[in-house]
Chain A
Amino acid sequence: MELFAVRNPGPMTTVQDLGRLAFLDRGVPLSGALDPFACRVANLLVGNPEEAAVLEITVMGPTLEVLAPADIALTGADMGMTINREPVRAWRTVRANPGEVIRIPRAAYGCRAYLAVTGGIDVPRMMGSRSTFVRAKIGGVQGRGLIKGDTLHRGAGSLLSRPRELPDEWIPQYAREIALRAVPGPQDDAFREGIDAFFGASYEVTQQADRMGCRLRGPAVRRDGELPESIVTEPTMPGNVQVPADGQPIILLVEQTSGGYAKIATVITADLPKVAQVVPGNSVRFERVTLEDAHHLYREQQKHVQQIREYLKRVNGL
């Protein structure tokens, strides 16, 4: 069913879900929401499965004319959404009705917001996912970001009997100084001399930050003397902190499949949502954790999402 007419797309608004694993071995990156936590919660709020397609909105949002009734929820960065100029809080649902206009101006904190709608954004599944991967023109709306004049559809799904919201204490706060927990490796052995300094240092997020990676600026990470600058090209993972020849680290993200520089450490999965929300000028520190810690925190985060799912069922019904 026709849901939104796009009046203004915002600088970078794409359809995303939880990504595609099936073709990683053919050079097709994971893609998907950079902040999977915010994406999953947005879907749970409106009563969708967590992996339904949402809009990922970067820094500035779209203006959308509503064509059909739907419950909507905005999560992630707080962008000051309004419906017919009335402010609407993030991390809760609101009923959008035909003829209304949704405006999502600009992030005050954080970088990316997620807009979920009843039934999910309905675009064809391509290679196992609805996620947009712009460089290969696949997924989403014709493999690209939204443009003015697009019509977005929604899938089938029932409207909520009353609005739902996430308790305040569960809403993530996006700070200007963040600590990212990271596991050393895969090539920590190339930085025996530099790794302690790396974990003690503070880095600034640069303008060069997109879905492929987030480039940082700060004290150059020192590679052990005798080693070559590059390694044999190998598969990468979101969170890998790659150190190119100039020593300025890059956090690799969901649109990267392989790389030829050593990676000193890898941000834990539970902290990747924080990386999605940094903006240029923020400062980042890395905190060393063990693999056991990382797995513990991963389990805790999965449990937390489960807790949210049960809470929403219990408190608000469907």
Chain B
Amino acid sequence: MAVLYEQARFRLSGDRALLVEYGDGIDPVINEKVRAMTALLKKDLPKGVEAVVPAYRSLSIIYDPLATTPARLAEILHALEADSRAAEIAKAKVIPIPVCYGGEFGPDIGVVMEHTGLREDEIVAVHAFVDYPIYMIGFTPGFCYLGGLDRRLQTPRRKTPRTNLPAGSVGIAESQTGMYPIDSPGGWQIIGRTPLRLFAPARENPFLYEAGDRIRFVPIAEAEFGRLYEKEWS
């Protein structure tokens, strides 16, 4: 069981980043605390803070050493933490992600069927319409580490990773599920694909979500995939 710390713990990540830990493991309650502290920090960015990067159980504060110190930031964070109990933190946003499961878009769904003993329609029913919290974004632009995959769907990674997965691929690996926002190599079992552009660098907002939001996969048919794909990518 992961433990939520009574008071934040601090670690120095060099001379311009401070890591702030709120618990000792991967846990929805700890991550919710990270989300709340990130929201409070961003509402009124303390002097000298250049970026706030939330993660599973911690957040990283990048600061300008000419403008502040970790000691000052720690003080501010402790004060914010006291306030956070009273503060109104907006409810997490739910981001619907249309997914065409199986077929050419989900080449590994057969492997998942074999491993879990579930039929294809059962896999879709268990995977879709769940609000998966985004615990953190990292590894590649827009890549979400999601929590909350149903145990019945857990399937090991592929023995040999694929060298090039198309952007939008949706997969499962052990206790995790997620999406590949850009074409990349990957070892996850791919069960479907979204036609949405998860990372569009030239779009005013290049991303559809941020850490703390929730991802809800919504099954769509192939025709709908084609229509949305055309709209998003042309």
| A residues adjacent to B (C-beta < 8 A) | 21-28, 126-127, 135-138, 183-187, 232-237, 239-240, 257-258, 263, 266-269, 291, 294-295, 298-299, 302
Q: At the interface, yes or no: B52 with Cβ under 8 Å from chain A?
A: yes
Judging by beta carbons under 8 Å apart, are A237 and B14 in contact? yes
Residues in A whose Cβ lies below 8 Å from that of B202: 126
B70-92 residues at the A interface, CB under 8 angstroms: 70
Judging by beta carbons under 8 Å apart, are B141 and A27 in contact? yes
Judging by beta carbons under 8 Å apart, are B54 and A291 in contact? no
Interface centre among B15, B54, B60, B136 (most CB of A within 10 A): B15
Q: B42-71 interface mask toward A, CB cutoff 8 Å, 1 = contact, 0 = none?
A: 000000001111111111101001100110
How far is B51's CA from A215's CA once the two chains are assembled, in angstroms? Answer: 27
Which of B115-123, B124-132, B147-155, B206-214 forms part of the interface with chain A?
B206-214
Judging by beta carbons under 8 Å apart, are B201 and A127 in contact? yes
Would you give 9 A-B contacts (Cβ < 8 Å), ordered by A?
A21-B62, A24-B53, A27-B137, A136-B141, A235-B17, A237-B16, A237-B60, A263-B13, A294-B14
How far is B199's CA from A28's CA once the two chains are assembled, in angstroms? Answer: 10
Residues in A whose Cβ lies below 8 Å from that of B69: 295
Q: Which of B14, B19, B211 sits near A183, CB closer than 8 Å?
A: B14
Judging by beta carbons under 8 Å apart, are B136 and A233 in contact? yes
How far is B12's CA from A266's CA once the two chains are assembled, in angstroms? Answer: 9
Q: At the interface, yes or no: B99 with Cβ under 8 Å from chain A?
A: no
Q: Considering only CB atoms, which chain A residue lies closest to B183 in the complex?
A: A137
Residues in A whose Cβ lies below 8 Å from that of B136: 233, 258
Residues in A whose Cβ lies below 8 Å from that of B16: 237, 269, 298
Known: A235-B60, A291-B15. A136 touches B210 (CB 8 A): no
| B residues adjacent to A (C-beta < 8 A) | 11-17, 19, 24-26, 50-60, 62, 65-66, 69-70, 136-143, 145, 182, 184, 199, 201-202, 206-207, 210-211
How far is B138's CA from A224's CA once the two chains are assembled, in angstroms? Answer: 28
Q: Considering only CB atoms, which chain A residue lies closest to B17 in the complex?
A: A237
Judging by beta carbons under 8 Å apart, are B201 and A291 in contact? no
Q: Which of A26, A28, A237, A299 sits near B62, CB closer than 8 Å?
A: A237
How far is B144's CA from A233's CA once the two chains are assembled, in angstroms? Answer: 12
Residues in B whose Cβ lies below 8 Å from that of A298: 15-16, 65-66
How far is B141's CA from A126's CA once the two chains are assembled, in angstroms? Answer: 14
Judging by beta carbons under 8 Å apart, are B15 and A295 in contact? yes
Least distance between B5 CB and chain A CB atoms (Å): 13
Judging by beta carbons under 8 Å apart, are A234 and B201 in contact? no
Least distance between B83 CB and chain A CB atoms (Å): 22
Q: Which of B25, B55, B182 sits near A234, CB closer than 8 Å?
A: B55
Q: Considering only CB atoms, which chain A residue lies closest to B57 in the complex?
A: A232
Judging by beta carbons under 8 Å apart, are A25 and B140 in contact? no
Least distance between B37 CB and chain A CB atoms (Å): 13
Leading 3 A-B pairs by shortest Cβ distance = A266-B14, A258-B138, A294-B15
Least distance between A272 CB and chain B CB atoms (Å): 9
How far is B11's CA from A266's CA once the two chains are assembled, in angstroms? Answer: 12
Judging by beta carbons under 8 Å apart, are A232 and B206 in contact? no
Judging by beta carbons under 8 Å apart, are B15 and A232 in contact? no
Judging by beta carbons under 8 Å apart, are B139 and A258 in contact? yes
Judging by beta carbons under 8 Å apart, are A185 and B141 in contact? no
Q: A23-B141, A240-B14, A257-B139 are in contact. List 5 more A-B contacts (CB 8 A).
A: A23-B207, A27-B137, A237-B14, A258-B138, A266-B15
Least distance between B218 CB and chain A CB atoms (Å): 22
Judging by beta carbons under 8 Å apart, are B53 and A291 in contact? no
Judging by beta carbons under 8 Å apart, are A28 and B141 in contact? yes
Q: Which of A24, A26, A185, A258 sits near B12, CB closer than 8 Å?
A: A185
